[in-house]
Structure 1
């Protein structure tokens, strides 16, 4: 375990080194000790530590900012914060840091931290499966190469939302001021900056936990902006849009490809997240999918494969229950299949949806069609009994 120690005061730095040297945990190697933030940043990449013990309160660049910079240079490094202020540590780092130590540091507490770091290191070595896809349709998921899907769990909702925002703007520079204004508009600049640093730290730790080492956060504008870099990983929205764009018109020879692309849409963009900034993209992607669904359904209808057309429309209804036109289309398809009960059911479902979501009744076109259908259907039943 290669360790770097950082503290602006020599006495606690010497004490921590002594405690680490006396520790019963094997394999500890202290590769650097620093009291100056800029010197650390100049040396850290060459030292390649596994762990950094970092004081929170430092002159110039504080521990939060320095920790963020270190993890930008070494995404896999673990950081343990040290502080003499109990409440400050609890408020700022209880949910974000791998661990924090209160000064004066005691050896039993230090050894617990070292044991925890050892377990994390072993877990990372054993994690052989590499996650290669991020799913944004329906929520925020990780999919491994063998197809296993996990809902990403986050220590804070703010870190989750910031990651989703950065992923939506992947490979683009996002200005720091833009992030602060969007995510912490009510906080003063110092408090908001600290919250941003801890959120970035949490994102990096979460990515590491899920084996997403190919996704990194850089700061190309010298602390004034961030860029989320996605390499050797697939984002389902990006993959779907690429395949959708390449589709030729629906015909017998392209039908299988159209069906595959249609099935790739598994829910609205970040559908389980109530993010205002995501609404525009969510609606855009939904409309693209609905247009494709309409083309596919129309092809099946023209070729009198009404059962296949119904399956397309039922999937639309399952994922986009507020689409009025889809209920009407299903009513007409079920009529073509002579399934009167299903026509009635769709009409009642439509009325219920419109009342609950919009407090309105079906439009006149639907009502007129339904009245006409009902009249014809009743006459047909009378003729059948006469």
Structure 2
């Protein structure tokens, strides 16, 4: 295995090189005091592991780890630090290991054994060959290997991936991510959290052998899913391709609408997702009402009523499903149900808007009531 050593302190660098020489198992291909030089060398030398001091000037170890991972996604990181507090960050990052200064040979030997074990494990794992599902309806989740779920290291890691998925077709500036995910933190701490979370995500994706990459473009990140799409993307594309045509069957229409498992990131209630959540919800409501109308026209009024009721349940503050049910019940001469829906509608508009239903609905109901006497 090839290793790269990075530490801004010359004596610490020499000591680590000496200790690794005693332990063996690592071919040291370069030692560097400057992160920029080390990154340039890594691109050329392709090391398997980097021993990286966390507390360095200009580029800290946390950001440097992210940049090494950009260059070599499978690279292993071992943090070296004189401060115990950074050991916690090493585990937050899911780094392979951490070593406290001064470095002791017996502790370093355990690290080298751990590196070798990790490489044996990763070599034995095959890339995911089965279907991969990315869910954004209801919750943010990735499933692979027959419904195995990708574990999220933290809630912020899950939200960060969700936001990059939402903006997958364009790069997202790092300062924007910081403002969205850590609005209360000071700038230095917020960026440290960002780099930590990105590193967590990458390690999780790599460990699962998923063909998903988080791309660093200097001042921004973007998500590369390759040919993969989320359930929301697939659903909307299929609606445009099929549901808006005049040849779709009501059975296929119902099947498509049934794929709407819940609102966009509904369980997480991300504030930044609200506009998209409402847009997709409106799209479902529009097509569900259209399907109800088609079913009604075909004579299947029972199924039509079920779809109108589904819209009413998902959107209780929308007048259309109440009115659709009123007219459907009127056509079946179900007078009690017409009045019931009308009264429910009046109660809803009064409670929510402090107003009566739309004039069109009031006029229709009055005309129906006069005619049904």
Q: Say if 2:142 is the partner of 1:125.
A: no
Q: Matched residue of 1:247: which SS? A: helix
Instruction: Name whichever of 296-305 and 130-139 sits farther off.
Output: 130-139
Change (3 A) 1:37 1:247: same
Residues 93-108 of structure 1: matches in 2 within 5 Å? Answer: 93-98=90-95, 99-108=97-106
Change (3 A) 1:174 1:327: same
Preserved contact between residue 317 and residue 352 of structure 2 (Cα < 8 Å): no
Q: Alpha-carbon deviations, 1:5-56, whole Å to 9, x = none?
A: 21122333343344444448xx644333222211111121222233222101
Equivalent residue, structure 2, for 1:60? 58
Preserved contact between residue 267 and residue 319 of structure 1 (Cα < 8 Å): no
Change (3 A) 1:141 1:123: same
Give 1:280 shift.
Answer: 0.7
Q: Say if 2:101 is the partner of 1:86.
A: no
1:109, 1:326 → 2: CA distance? 68
Q: Matched residue of 2:92: which SS? A: coil
Change (3 A) 1:75 1:302: same
Equivalent residue, structure 1, for 2:5? 5
Instruction: Name whichever of 328-337 and 94-103 sits farther off.
Output: 328-337
Equivalent residue, structure 1, for 2:144? 144
Change (3 A) 1:46 1:327: farther
Change (3 A) 1:104 1:314: farther
Q: Matched residue of 1:288: which SS? A: helix
1:344, 1:119 → 2: CA distance? 72
Equivalent residue, structure 2, for 1:269? 264
Change (3 A) 1:12 1:323: farther
Give 1:300 shift.
Answer: 0.6
2:128, 2:347 → 1: CA distance? 46
2:168, 2:271 → 1: CA distance? 18
Give 1:237 shift.
Answer: 2.0
Aligned residues between the structures = 366
Q: Matched residue of 1:205: which SS? A: helix
Q: Matched residue of 2:134: which SS? A: strand
2:216, 2:133 → 1: CA distance? 20
Preserved contact between residue 173 and residue 225 of structure 1 (Cα < 8 Å): yes
Change (3 A) 1:361 1:103: farther
Give 1:277 shift.
Answer: 0.9
2:117, 2:338 → 1: CA distance? 60
1:256, 1:353 → 2: CA distance? 32
Query: TM-score, length-normalised on structure 1?
Result: 0.78
Preserved contact between residue 331 and residue 342 of structure 1 (Cα < 8 Å): yes
Q: Say if 2:210 is the partner of 1:212.
A: yes
Instruction: Name whichever of 237-246 and 256-265 sits farther off.
Output: 256-265
Query: TM-score, length-normalised on structure 2?
Result: 0.80
Preserved contact between residue 171 and residue 230 of structure 1 (Cα < 8 Å): no
Change (3 A) 1:270 1:349: farther
Instruction: Name whichever of 31-40 and 249-258 sits farther off.
Output: 249-258
User: Among residues 268, 273, 279, which one is paired with 1:278 in the alignment?
Assistant: 273
Give 1:107 shift.
Answer: 4.1
Residues 199-348 of structure 1: matches in 2 within 5 Å? Answer: 199-219=197-217, 223-247=218-242, 249=244, 251=246, 253-313=248-308, 315-316=310-311, 325-326=320-321, 329=324
Change (3 A) 1:248 1:286: closer
2:126, 2:90 → 1: CA distance? 26
User: Among residues 32, 38, 41, which one is paired with 1:40 in the alignment?
Assistant: 38
Q: Which runs of 5+ in 1 are unaligned?
A: 380-386
